Amino acid sequence: MLAWKAGSISARSSWFHNADTGVVRIGITCYPTYGGSGIVATELGLELANRGHEVHFISYANPIRLDPDTPGIHYHEVEVSTYPLFQYPPYSLALASRMTEVAEQYRLDLLHVHYAIPHSISALLAQEMTTSRYLPFVTTLHGTDITLVGADRSYFPITKFSIERSDGVTTISEYMRRRTEDFFGITKPIEVIHNFVNCSLYKPDEEAQSIGSKRIIHISNFRPVKRVNDCVRVFAEVRKQVDAELIMAGDGPDRGPAERLARELGVHQHIRFLGKQDHIERLLPRMHVLHLPSETEAFGLAALEAMACGVAPVATLAGGVPDLIDNGVDGFLEPVADIDKQAARITELLSNETLRNRISEAARRTALTRFCTELIIPQYESYYRRVCAQGT
CATH number at residue 307: 3.40.50.2000
Question: DSSP character for 79?
Answer: P
Query: Residue 159 CA to chain centroid, in angstroms?
Result: 19
Asked if residue 390 lies in contact with residue 136, where contact means CB atoms within 8 angstroms, the answer is yes
Give the H/E segment covering residue 355.
Answer: helix 353-366
> Residue 122: which H helix or E strand, with range?
helix 119-129
CB atoms within 10 A of CB 26: 24
Map residue 249 onto helix, strand or coil. Answer: strand
Distance between CA atoms of residues 382 and 177, nearest Å: 19
* 152 and 241 co-located in one domain: no
Domain count, the chain: 2
What pLDDT is stored for residue 6 in this prediction? 35
The distance of Cα 267 from the centroid of its chain, to the nearest Å, equals 31
Q: Does one domain contain both 32 and 151?
A: yes
Sort residue 335 into left (φ over 0), alpha (ψ -120 to 50) or beta.
Answer: beta
| Residue 201 belongs to some domain of the structure | no
The verdict on 367 and 382 lying in the same domain is: no
Burial class (CB in 10 A: 0-12, 13-18, 19+), 359: buried
CA quadruple 147, 152, 154, 156: dihedral sign: positive
pLDDT of residue 151: 66
Cβ pair 223, 252 in contact under 8 A: yes
* Judgement on whether residues 55 and 85 belong to the same structural domain of the protein: yes
CA atoms within a 13 Å half-sphere pointing along the CA-CB vector of 107: 10
250 SS3 class: strand
Q: Specify whether 113 is located in the same domain as 227.
A: no
Alpha helices, DSSP H, located in 223-267: 228-238, 255-264
The Cα–Cα gap between 334 and 237 comes to 16
Q: What is the DSSP secondary-structure string of 30-90?
A: ---SSSHHHHHHHHHHHHHHHTT-EEEEEESS--TT--TTSTTEEEEEPP----TT-SS--
Are 71 and 217 contained in the same domain?
no
Residues in the chain: 392
| pLDDT at site 27 | 97
Residue 66 has a pLDDT of 85
Do 301 and 331 reside in the same domain of the chain?
A: yes
192, 251: one domain = no
- Coil, strand or helix: which one is 51? coil
pTM of the model: 0.89
Q: Which of 269, 286, 366, 282 is nearest to 326 (CA)?
A: 366
Is 94 found in the same domain as 118?
A: yes
Query: Quick one: pLDDT at residue 236?
Result: 98
Residues 36 and 101 grouped into a single domain: yes
Task: In whole angstroms, give the CA distance from residue 204 to residue 179.
Answer: 34
Burial class (CB in 10 A: 0-12, 13-18, 19+), 8: exposed
pLDDT of residue 117: 85
H or E element, residue 42: helix 36-50
The answer for residues whose C-beta is within 8 angstroms of residue 233's C-beta and 6 or more apart is 261, 265, 339
Residues 6+ apart with CB under 8 A from 4: 10, 11, 134
Q: Residue 317 burial (CB < 10 Å; 0-12/13-18/19+)?
A: middle
What pLDDT score was predicted for residue 327? 98
Cα dist. 227→53, 69, 282, 295, 336 in Å? Answer: 39, 37, 25, 7, 9
Which helix (H) or strand (E) element contains residue 96? Answer: helix 91-106
178 and 246 housed in the same domain:
no
Residues 59 and 135 in one domain: yes
Residues 195, 299: contact at Cβ < 8 Å? yes
Q: Answer whether residue 343 is part of any domain.
A: yes
Looking at residue 309, its amino acid is C
Blockwise average pLDDT, block size 10, the chain, 392 residues: 33 44 87 80 94 95 84 93 76 95 96 92 96 93 71 82 95 93 90 96 92 95 95 98 97 96 98 92 97 94 97 96 97 98 98 97 98 97 94 64
CA distance 285 to 202: 8
Residues 30 and 66 sit within 8 Å (Cβ to Cβ):
no
Q: Assess if residue 146 is contained within a domain.
A: yes
In single-letter form, the type of residue at position 216 comes to I
> Is residue 297 within 8 Å of residue 318, measured between CB atoms?
yes
Range of the domain at 175: 2-196+373-389
